[in-house]
A and B are shown apart, each in its own frame.
Chain A
Amino acid sequence: RKEVEQDPGPFNVPEGATVAFNCTYSNSASQSFFWYRQDCRKEPKLLMSVYSSGNEDGRFTAQLNRASQYISLLIRDSKLSDSATYLCVVSPSGSARQLTFGSGTQLTVLP
């Protein structure tokens, strides 16, 4: 079983739609959780951290369910510029600050 699993997609949605991505992780001791965005042939960029209470940043909402070891990302009112691959990222416990990356979910927002 992969440490971080994501549905690879692709998700093709019309502009203005709401889309949700899910991610599961296997290490119950994981401490920190993130969503990164990666445009085609570019580096990943931090989109948002995911907190236990859930957090929102504009059109983006992230949720964490520690009991089910599940993370989600909701994008409302999708824009063409949201087209990218979204990486679910988990940090195991310990002081090494290592990150484990999911393979990513590809989103294409269509006009």
Chain B
Amino acid sequence: DGGITQSPKYLFRKEGQNVTLSCEQNLNHDAMYWYRQDPGQGLRLIYYSQIVNDFQKGDIAEGYSVSREKKESFPLTVTSAQKNPTAFYLCASSMFASHEQYFGPGTRLTVT
């Protein structure tokens, strides 16, 4: 089955620790995206990548880092510099020529 997988579904960390969220897609999509969603708010773009080995900051990139070494993988690291990391993190992908994005099931990160 083609799709986007994110792991883990739930993640708990102590303040001050870096944590990496996984995102893998087998849709052969060129572009991949990371969003965060807070309760009652819309999705906000953290980082996006249109091709391998290239990525751009979104609206709220501070405290986050990404890599795109393979077309199918786009991991997100939430660093200790992110002031309010507890949120629902969603990864998405799309074909290069399309605006339609498809989402993975998300990772709920709780930092205490």
Contact = CB atoms under 8 A, between A and B. Distances in A.
Residues of B in contact with A, size category: 20 to 34
B42 A96 contact: no
A46 B102 contact: yes
Interface residues of A, number: 23
B100 A87 contact: no
Contacts of B108: 41
Interface string B23-51: 00000000101010000111111001010
Given A91-B99, A97-B31, A42 B42 contact: no
A103 B40 contact: yes
A101 B43 contact: yes
A5 to B, nearest CB: 10
19 contacts: A31-B99, A34-B100, A42-B105, A43-B90, A43-B103, A43-B106, A44-B90, A46-B102, A49-B100, A87-B43, A91-B99, A97-B50, A97-B94, A97-B98, A98-B58, A99-B99, A100-B42, A101-B42, A104-B42
